[in-house]
Amino acid sequence: MQAAATDVLDRFIEEAVARSRNQPAPADCVLALAPLMLDLLGRAETFLEPRHYRSTPAGYTRNLIYALPDKSLSLYSLVWLPGQWTPIHDHGSWGVVGVLEGILEERSYVRLSHDREADRDIELVRGGVVLLARGAVTTFVPNPDHIHVTGVPADRPRAVSLHLYGRMMTSFNIYDVEARSRRRIEVAHNES
Ligand SMILES: [Fe+2]
């Protein structure tokens, strides 16, 4: 059982590394990785352990499942209790997200101001919403940044999702719509 569990995760990482290195353009990279994540969702129970489902009432919880030694790829499980949301944020990386349990809600923002590098005078407007049910896969690419809020409303049950990124997701920009600004913050995760 343990050998099989390791095999599933090892094969996924091996294939994800190969596909991401073969596709340097982020849009091509997520195109190549999305079916891999879809397949992984169906096998995730074979390698996920109780530590990957850790959660806290303080906020949504990020559990690291795997990181490449050179930090060019990382896989996390995120656990969202009812009423837990991210701040408005971007990623600075491509990303591939798959939903294992519950319904993950994504509320988009669109940046109207043209200077993508600026931290001030940012004009953001609210965009659409996507409800990602169990088995769904979604992706994003940087430049322009994918800006959104993700979480679970208080009246829905817990959600659990897998997140594959092209870097360690240890920091990202958060946005203040009223102040028209953004700033970079460090974000925590459970190592093991
Ligand atoms: Fe995000």
Strands (E), the chain: 61-67, 74-80, 95-101, 103-111, 124-133, 137-140, 147-151, 159-165, 171-176, 181-186
Rounded CA-CA distance 69/143 in Å is 26
Cα(47) to ligand 1 centroid in Å equals: 24
Q: Beta-carbon neighbour count of residue 153 at 10 Å?
A: 11
pLDDT at 143: 84
Task: Using alpha carbons, select from 14, 38, 16, 27 the residue that is nearest to residue 162.
Answer: 38
Task: Using alpha carbons, select from 182, 176, 93, 86 the residue that is nearest to residue 142.
Answer: 93
**pLDDT confidence of 1, banded at 50, 70, 90?**
very low
Cα(61) to ligand 1 centroid in Å equals: 13
Tens digits of residue pLDDT in 74-83 = 999 999 999 9
Q: What is the mean pLDDT of residues 81-94?
A: 96
**Which pair of tokens denotes residue 123?**
């004009």
Cα(86) to ligand 1 centroid in Å equals: 8
Query: Can you give the pTM of this predicted structure?
Result: 0.95
